[in-house]
Amino acid sequence: MDYLLLCEENENQRAQLIRDTERELRENYRKVQAQQEQNEFLRVVVDDYKRYYDHIRQQKQQQYDALSGLTEYIDALHRGIDATHSILDETHHDQKRLLGEMVRLQREMDEIIASSNVYDESEKNFKTITNFSNVS
């Protein structure tokens, strides 16, 4: 009988061990399911953050591209302004040269006119002398 009691007791212990193991497995299964649900939730959250990050990164890239375009435009304007200043300086120099040439030509014309007046005066004097000689 002792043997039967011992076997029965072992049987009860095994049954208890099986029940405990089954309970532990069920709890672990629930925990795994809960973690899976949480992981799913976390996966959704991570995906949302990734989409948000990608959107923000795309906006920043667009802003960077726009600022880069503005910088290139300003550089082009600056080069144009530098070219304009250079052209203005050259034009101003040409204008001074032309004015100098005009002054020289005016002097030459004045000399020609003065020479012409001297010639005219000489001619008048000559005519006067000739007329005077003819009268005598």
Give the separation between CA 32 and CA 24, rounded to whole angstroms: 12
Instruction: Specify if 69 maps to a domain.
Output: yes
Cα separation values, 105 from 5, 95, 101, 113, Å:
144, 15, 6, 12
Percentage, residues of the chain above pLDDT 70: 79
Q: What is the mean pLDDT of the chain?
A: 78
Single-letter code of the amino acid located at 104: R
Instruction: Specify if 26 maps to a domain.
Output: yes
Structure confidence by residue, pLDDT tens digits, 56-102: 889 989 988 888 888 888 888 778 887 788 888 888 889 999 999 99
For the chain, how many structural domains are there in total? 1
Read off the DSSP letter of residue 55.
Answer: H
Instruction: Specify if 125 maps to a domain.
Output: no
The boundaries of the domain holding residue 67 are 1-96
- Dmax over CA atoms of the chain, in Å, equals 195
**The pTM is what?**
0.42
